[in-house]
Structure 1
């Protein structure tokens, strides 16, 4: 296989780490753009979680505290991203023959799960605050039953609302997070990486939540008796976070369940495969690309290509075309790590990869009573196959 060494060199040169790959968190691979932007995000989130949490407490802003919790969920997601990006680029092994790409999908699921959990937690905190402002009697009963945490601000319910100075923290957060979003998304699109894209949208949501916090801090300072605006801001922020978390969770789950690649990817692979076979001339029939399918594992795409060829071809001829197709797709379509090629005659029926699945009850063939019967059938089928024009790799 001509493309194998390339993959091994590409994926292996920068990763000198042990099996339990926590070392990637202190990544030696500082030249990798994905690692670098994630590390910057990590430091920024750490700073912001502390600053906004402290600021929200000092300036009495529910929205700012909610935003700080969100920065904290981002911090955990950055650490998971660092760990999974490192794993997903490792070359395939005997134990993981399709590579480690799904580790990144698992990471993406973890990141999104944290985002969902953080969103629900923020929403719950905001609801408690609203309940304590508008339904103090019900809140007191719920507190006595242990359903709500004890609230220490009942004297006047902090009539001052959030301090106007909280606005500066929110404004700074918007600027920094919007920059991080754009920088991370650019790399995610170049790499076609779901976990980096998931991280980029974290930054965008954080920038939007900071904007909401800014509006509501301003509103509760400018308008009369509008202190309730601040916990409403916390609630709005939590809904935005939950929505983003659900979208990413769904995407990661589909990837883990091996959903087929999108139309754009299939078209790109088809174009590259067509280019590879267009120069091949045979005396009798053309060689053509009949069908493409594939799945995504993290940043890696694993593709299947069906090629129609003359029935008279030898194994050597098919092998040469297979290598040509694999090399061309590997060179032209970013992210493709494995190409499996199968050959059929041009006269074969409609392309359908489903015929690779074994039909019927899988347990029936494995019973001892049916083994002699199976051998007899197998011999007959083998003879028939030898005379069959259809051949595949």
Structure 2
């Protein structure tokens, strides 16, 4: 479909359709990268990668969003130059020469290029809209049946491609219907480039946040807490335990969850093992995407620990204490205790 749009945009003299073709390529790349990375990201953890491979999908998403940004900026520049050339062809030609396009691109902004796009491009745009809308509904139906967030995301990509096709169609029809309105076609290209840049920027930010381990969102935390409390209610003596804190990070499609459960101080390790297994099983079955659940047990009788108490204070650049110095301190302590004994 992207090839057809490129060919149609070039043959029918439509900047908007060429811009739409760039978006279709990014959409196709997104689908390919998703399929390629999902299978790897779902592999079980290994000794070398103890947290699994979910971040590979995040890297793939970053690659797609980067393509969207670059492609959106390029198509926006091309459309802007074409639009400017409608009102001042000589200045537009000088701009292209100044940035190095020179005579190699001077023909691309001739009178033929600045003319009205062919109505045949409208048929192609209309056909792609129908196909993308059908793909959207078909993909979303399967996504809902299988409760797959990945398929749902791909369905949204098809919908965005359909919307850009509508902008393309409107630009082509407007340029043909209105007198001296050939400028509508590059305007359509600019609108599409803005949509693509916006989508690329949003995906880039989301991917970067995921790669730097931003916390899972409040909705997921609430769902995890709710299911953990249900698990506690369904086991013997579970009412004596309480969920103190829920945290975690997103790794691709996976959620790596940390739970803090407060239990009576008299409970043994064997006593809390069944509770831990029950909570983990409940979360895996009821919260989509939960891949790992790590449980930390606290005593209900003790005061609440400070948040992030497991982090060691100090600067990463601080030098560790030398072994010889540590031994001297140990000897001083031993000698001091011997004096007290005598």
> Which of the five TM-score ranges fits, normalised by the shorter chain?
0.7 to 0.9
Unaligned runs of 5+ in 2: 335-342
**Is the contact made by 2:80 and 2:190 (CA closer than 8 Å) also made in structure 1?**
yes
1:374 CA drift (Å) = 8.1
Secondary structure of the 2:161 match is helix
Q: Which residue of 1 aligns with 2:72?
A: 119
Q: Which residue of 1 aligns with 2:245?
A: 291
Is 1:332 aligned to 2:286, yes or no? yes
Contact 2:79–2:190 (8 Å) recurs in 1: yes
**CA 1:101/1:366 → structure 2, altered by over 3 Å: closer, same or farther?**
farther
Aligned to 2:204: 249
Q: Distance in 1 between matches of 2:263 and 2:328?
A: 35
Structure 1 position 247, deviation (Å): 0.9
Stretch deviating more after TM superposition (322-331 or 356-365) = 356-365
Cα RMSD for the two superposed structures: 2.6
Q: Is structure 2 residue 265 aligned with structure 1 residue 311?
A: yes
What CA distance in whole angstroms lies between the structure 2 residues aligned with 1:341 and 1:311? 16
Distance 2:110 2:244 in 1: 75
Could you say which residue in structure 2 is the equivalent of 1:101? 54
Task: Give the paired residue count.
Answer: 328
- Residues 280 and 287, structure 1, Cα contact 8 Å, conserved in 2: no
Kept after mapping to 2: 8 A contact 1:291/1:305: yes
Aligned to 2:128: 173
Q: Of 219, 231, 241, which aligns to 1:264?
A: 219
Distance 1:250 1:111 in 2: 12
**Cα distance in structure 2, aligned partners of 1:70 and 1:321:** 50
Counterpart of 2:299 in structure 1 is 345
**C-alpha contact (below 8 Å) 2:86/2:114 kept by paired residues:** no
Q: Which moved more, 1:336-345 or 1:176-185?
A: 176-185
Equivalent position of 1:28 in the other structure: none
1:368 Cα offset (Å): 2.6
> Deviation per CA, 1:163-222, whole angstroms, max 9, x where unpaired?
1111111111112222333444566672344xx555444322211111001001000100
* TM-score, with structure 1 as normaliser: 0.77
Residues 249-308 of structure 1: CA deviation (Å, up to 9, x unaligned): 11111111111111121111112211222244559x811111111111011111111111
Map of 1:239 onto structure 2 = 194
Do residues 191 (structure 1) and 148 (structure 2) align?
Answer: yes
**Counterpart pick for 1:161 among 94, 116, 123:** 116
Contact preservation (8 Å) 1:105, 1:255:
yes
Q: In the TM superposition, what is the alpha-carbon distance from 1:120 to its structure 2 partner?
A: 0.7
Mapped partners of 1:253, 1:185: distance in 2: 27
Answer with 50-59 or 365-374: which moved more. Answer: 365-374
The correspondence for 2:43, drawn from 69, 85, 90, is: 90
Unaligned segments of structure 1, at least 5 residues: 1-47, 380-393
